[in-house]
Structure 1
Amino acid sequence: MTNHSENIGPVENGDITDGSAPLRRSAHDPQVTLRTPAELADALPYLLGYRPEDSMVLMALHDRGGRGRFGGRARLGIPANKDDWEPAAHQLAQGLVTGSERRGTRPEQMVAYVCQEPAPGETGRDVMHRLAPLAHLLRTECGRLDVPVIEALCVSDARFWSYCCPTQECCPADGTPMGLPGTSVLAAAATYAGVQVRGSLRELRARLLPWESGAAREQETALDRAGGALVPRILDDAFRAQVAEDTLALAERIIERFAAAAPESDIHQADLRDDRLLAHDEAARLILGLQDRTTRDRAAAWMEGAEAGPALRLWRALARRCVGPYGEHAAAPLTLAGWVAWSSGDDLEGREALAMALGADPDYLFAHLLHQACNEGLDPESIRRCLRAGRAEHRSADSTAAVTDDTPLAPGADHPPAGGSAAAPRRRTRTGNATDNRRRRPDGTRPRRADAEHARPGSTRPGGTRTRAVDRPAAAHRGEESGTRAGRTGTQGARSGNSRSEPDE
């Protein structure tokens, strides 16, 4: 079978997988031929762009002039309960085949993988035997869809086994050692094509998981303290807009702080640096402030250019601060992290962050919409355009609010106090007088008025959600993502979502 460089990158397609990714054809594209189970096992990280763990994976194969090429690819976490294996195998196979059909490229064949590291006291061979029924289910479900599995492999403990090859000389009972990373022909082709293996999913998720160190207790205390001060104001329409402006101004200052920090080449050290740059009380105020939907949507506009990198670092850092009973609050920063990663071209982190947001709050609508769009291979530019328009609208309103309105009020619109003089019409100004306690933003403009914060009737927010004329918080309604989640103290953390499918195209 032949794998072209156009398909060996981390072109994945979300939770329930899709068909082939857009192809980049060139007469000079390198071509790599994979003939043996060893070559297929070695190819897996390069086909996905990361090393799968606790995963069941399907790779679609398409015919091209009598030679196979890889198409869509789909991954699911292996359910801990064996009773869930059959529906999971059906979901994985059905999702990959139907997604491919939707794009007009139905697979002719499949390659199946089951990947899991040994538990304490287990060997790789034990894992192979334990997962054999799961591999059989994958083959059966694909067969029901008339797409035969031509190879099924188990990868465990740096070895692999074939469930399809009965030849001991080719596939010994104790497995075959995996080659050294980066030494295969495919690794060389991937390097030539600019494809990098990002490590494991566990390493990627670790950047987004809540703290479990001693500092987690200090952060929880800061969240409790900030909640007592902010939640009543967020739930009060008279103060909600000011909380939004304060939240965004603080986020902007920290993004600038992150941008000015010295770079770190090591990912772990870079995250530790960002954690040091963000104080507990700052993180608490941002986490709670972002529970308001309109505030979160405005924060999503830091999605491109020089702002995107520092903003993504901030959203990761905030997700790590959603500790203890504030695990559900991680849905907002995780969704922002997923959006910015996807908008910046990193589909892998985007998909994982969005899946974790849905693990933190399965009803979080913005994460659902973005996850679906990412899974379907849509261009994020349509969402970027919407967010740019919203940002421009806010800037225009801020500029207008800073201009003095010298037009006399209509008769009777603003009466003088009882007993006072009615000598001259009173004029309304919005230029920072003694009664205007709204402070300026770092760019010199003023925040919008509280009544201007609400969306106009029928306006459309990013992701296609429609808003009411006054978008009131709805903390009491679990199913309404349109309100604020600031008053919640649920204990559900940001789970990695092993039972959630993660199709990779």
Structure 2
Amino acid sequence: MTQHSEPARQPSTTRVTLRGPAELIDSLPYLLGYHPDDSIVLVGLHGPNGRFGGRLRVGIPAREEGWPDIAEQLADCLRGSSSARGDRPDGALVFLCQDPADGGSGRAVMERLRPLAQRLRTACGALDMPVYEALCVSGGRYWSYCCPGSGCCPADGTPVGVPGTSVMAAAATYAGVRVEGSLKELTARLAPLGPPVAEPQELALDLAGTALVPRMLGEVDRQTVRAETLALAQRLLDRYRAAPTADLRAGRARADARDDGLLSHEEAATLILGLQDRVARDWAAEWMEGADAAPALRLWRALARRCVGAYAEHAAAPLTLAGWVAWASGDEPGARVALGRALDLDPEYVFARLLHSACNSGLDPEPLRQCLRRQRAERTSRAATARN
């Protein structure tokens, strides 16, 4: 099978031609910005040459009962997000990426996921988006669910090949498209910290909640808490800005650990709880560009990691802020991971839902940036008037 595509997120008109399933699979990290794992990936195809369009990724539901619903939702979302841009898909590609558990085999994974692949093919076909290829990638091998007969492909699958050797990889590398690692690695940067940090952090959150929550429920004190939250965030932002930028060649885990060390338990707890207020969170979203963006992203990630124990769902606010700053800075893969994690914790978190939908639809973040700039200018003007 031959598909034509452009390197992900590049406006260039350079085209590359992908021939066969192995090259399609090797293109995935460049389309998504990371190596998908435990994932359903749908890619829209447009025109007679199969130009790549919109792409969607979700985790594979563990329970088979959820497969029919997720198949219909994904097909509808792929068609809807593309149609909103005036470019309805003419077809689709399906990828099921899941490595076998210890002692398992890729072939067993492929057979277990076969009904899911069929559900996805049926759901896309019902919306006039025929699936031209559906691949299972597991244990370094792949299988096609679209083979015309049992003798078409090896029973034990075909080796995926050496990653990064396709023409797509070469074109994407030349164009400056980076792959940030695996989805698991990106998600791990946002996961709650464990011992020895978790226990004292949860205690600090308990104490901060006792002090702050009653104040946040009163109208007068609520305004004061918002101002205190913003002031604390500004101090911490200055601290992160002043800290030397970590050398990522030493590893992201080490860089994150250093960022974690810049926060006390009490500071993290106070800011996490303060950001549960929607207005305070929206003010914090104003730190999104220029010299603010990088330290703000580090701060929001560090706060998300401090949402431990019973406070896990409180991470929806800092995760959404991290997703927003990443998207505003051009890091769409990082934005999708952070916003997806926020929605895993709280599916009804409206700000995360709106940002996630906009990012996945390929919209430009500039209109929201303009809105937040106006909001910041107006708030600054009001504060100056009040002082005078």
Q: Which position in structure 1 is the counterpart of 2:260?
A: 275
**Structure 1 residue 92: Cα displacement:** 1.4
SS of residue paired to 1:114: strand
CA distance in 1, matches of 2:156, 2:177: 32
Q: Which position in structure 1 is the counterpart of 2:68?
A: 86
Moved more, 360-369 or 135-144: 360-369
CA distance in 1, matches of 2:22, 2:354: 39
1:337 aligns with 2:322: yes
1:302 aligns with 2:303: no
Amino acid across the alignment from 1:398: A
1:399-431 C-alpha deviation (Å, 9 max, x unpaired): 22322xxxxxxxxxxxxxxxxxxxxxxxxxxxx
1:148 aligns with 2:135: no
Residue of 271, 277, 280 corresponding to 1:292: 277
1:239 aligns with 2:221: yes
1:376 aligns with 2:361: yes
Distance 1:97 1:402, change over 3 A: closer
Q: Give the gaps of 5 or more residues in structure 2.
A: none
Structure number with higher relative contact order (C-alpha < 8 Å, ≥ 6 residues apart): 1
| Aligned ranges 1:122-133 → 2 under 5 Å | 122-133=104-115
Q: Which position in structure 2 is the counterpart of 1:33?
A: 17
| Aligned ranges 1:442-453 → 2 under 5 Å | none
| Aligned ranges 1:5-20 → 2 under 5 Å | 5=6, 8-9=7-8, 11=9
Normalised by the length of structure 1, the TM-score is 0.72
1:369-424 C-alpha deviation (Å, 9 max, x unpaired): 32233233332222212211221122222222322xxxxxxxxxxxxxxxxxxxxx
Structure ranking higher in helix proportion = 2
**Structure 1 residue 33: Cα displacement:** 1.6
**Structure 1 residue 361: Cα displacement:** 2.4
1:457-484 C-alpha deviation (Å, 9 max, x unpaired): xxxxxxxxxxxxxxxxxxxxxxxxxxxx
**Structure 1 residue 191: Cα displacement:** 0.4
CA distance in 2, matches of 1:376, 1:71: 10
CA distance in 1, matches of 2:80, 2:213: 45
CA distance in 1, matches of 2:50, 2:311: 49
CA distance in 2, matches of 1:220, 1:195: 39
Residue of 292, 297, 316 corresponding to 2:301: 316
Residue of 319, 331, 334 corresponding to 1:349: 334
Q: Give the gaps of 5 or more residues in structure 1.
A: 12-22, 404-505
CA RMSD between the two structures: 2.0
SS of residue paired to 2:86: coil
Distance 1:369 1:111, change over 3 A: closer
SS of residue paired to 1:50: coil
Q: Is the 8 A contact 2:33 2:180 kept in 1?
A: yes
Moved more, 190-199 or 39-48: 39-48
CA distance in 2, matches of 1:334, 1:353: 5
Amino acid across the alignment from 2:11: R
| Aligned ranges 1:83-232 → 2 under 5 Å | 83-165=65-147, 171-232=153-214
1:24 aligns with 2:11: yes
Q: Is the 8 A contact 2:32 2:333 kept in 1?
A: no
Q: Which position in structure 2 is the counterpart of 1:358?
A: 343
Distance 1:245 1:69, change over 3 A: same
Q: Which position in structure 1 is the counterpart of 2:27?
A: 43
CA distance in 2, matches of 1:268, 1:304: 24
**Structure 1 residue 71: Cα displacement:** 1.6
Residue of 61, 79, 99 corresponding to 2:45: 61
CA distance in 2, matches of 1:32, 1:367: 34
SS of residue paired to 1:67: coil
SS of residue paired to 2:57: strand
**Whose Rg is larger?**
1
Normalised by the length of structure 2, the TM-score is 0.93
Distance 1:364 1:97, change over 3 A: closer
Moved more, 273-282 or 261-270: 261-270
How many residues matched? 384
Percent identity of paired positions between Structure 1 and Structure 2: 61
Amino acid across the alignment from 1:54: D
Residue of 20, 33, 54 corresponding to 1:72: 54
**Structure 1 residue 105: Cα displacement:** 2.3
Amino acid across the alignment from 1:92: L
1:169-198 C-alpha deviation (Å, 9 max, x unpaired): 873211122222222222111101111122
CA distance in 2, matches of 1:292, 1:260: 27
